Structure 1
């Protein structure tokens, strides 16, 4: 317990009191802040970020995921024919929207986790005839969004670019 209190004090000294009290969603999740790596751990009744003592690459702010992204999805598996189709994803705080224009379907996204440079969403199709309930995982690297959809034995991958409209 003393070690936990010392680590919390160290976090407060390094990144400021408001960030030291930052809560996180998933035990074991790692977050890069100001060049330092923090790990999500149980801190009593809540989860909190604890300084790991290691450095990480430059921090990409969480807002870097926010915005509208588009690209071409490449579908495989599930006994369905391989096919490519446009994907348009809009990410905002806590979720977003998804649209597959050529498939004439889309819907809403509920955020399951977000580390600032990667996130996971549950897809809910609200119009059209596409598979409902898939999971979308995204990770931000080199200014692009690596996008993966999984569900019903089917996989779809894409490299999405930020729309500037």
Structure 2
């Protein structure tokens, strides 16, 4: 896989918190741990070097667009659709809308020490292809 195959896009959404439906009729809250704008770097398991990541997350329901992701150094990005979330983990599907990155990857975000997020990217079959770390680009939204 080429480094340009992976990229997360920036999408600036304003939100106070991220509310999601984690199942039929079962509302849940993503909350401040994930809401807002993030930036960082990632690397692929099959190529040396790092690339940039920028993403923004806001309110949304399961299977809906809840944010955007860009990979500025790879010139690609798109929408993030919520697959599932709980207080300790968020799983999103990428829908690449510009550039030549691999489409339909699965992005998993988990809180990291120091207030950041750990980023993992894989194909639907589960093979991990990339990892990264993100830090807040803006302060967390107000409760």
8 Å contact kept, 1:63–1:116: no
8 Å contact kept, 1:75–1:155: yes
DSSP 3-state at the match of 1:64: coil
Q: In 2, Cα distance between the equivalents of 1:48 and 1:110?
A: 16
Aligned CA RMSD, in angstroms, stands at 2.7
Is 1:160 aligned to 2:130, yes or no?
Answer: no
**Gapped regions of structure 2 (runs ≥ 5):** 1-19, 61-65
Larger Rg: 1
**Gapped regions of structure 1 (runs ≥ 5):** 1-22, 27-44, 50-60
DSSP 3-state at the match of 1:71: strand
Structure 2 length normalisation: TM-score?
Answer: 0.68
**Partner of residue 31 from structure 2, selected from 46, 51, 62:** 62
Is 1:118 aligned to 2:79, yes or no?
Answer: no
**Relative contact order higher in (CA < 8 Å, ≥ 6 apart):** 2
Which residue of structure 2 lines up, in the alignment, with residue 106 of structure 1?
77
Question: Alignment length, in residue pairs?
Answer: 112
Larger strand proportion of the pair: 1
Structure 1 length normalisation: TM-score?
Answer: 0.59
* Deviations, residues 36-86 of structure 1 (Å, cap 9, x unaligned): xxxxxxxxx85589xxxxxxxxxxx71221011111101113xxx333100
**Counterparts in 2 of 1:127 and 1:139: CA distance versus 1, 3 Å:** same
Q: In 2, Cα distance between the equivalents of 1:159 and 1:65?
A: 13
**Structure 1 stretch 116-125 or stretch 127-136: which is displaced more?**
116-125
Larger helix proportion of the pair: 1
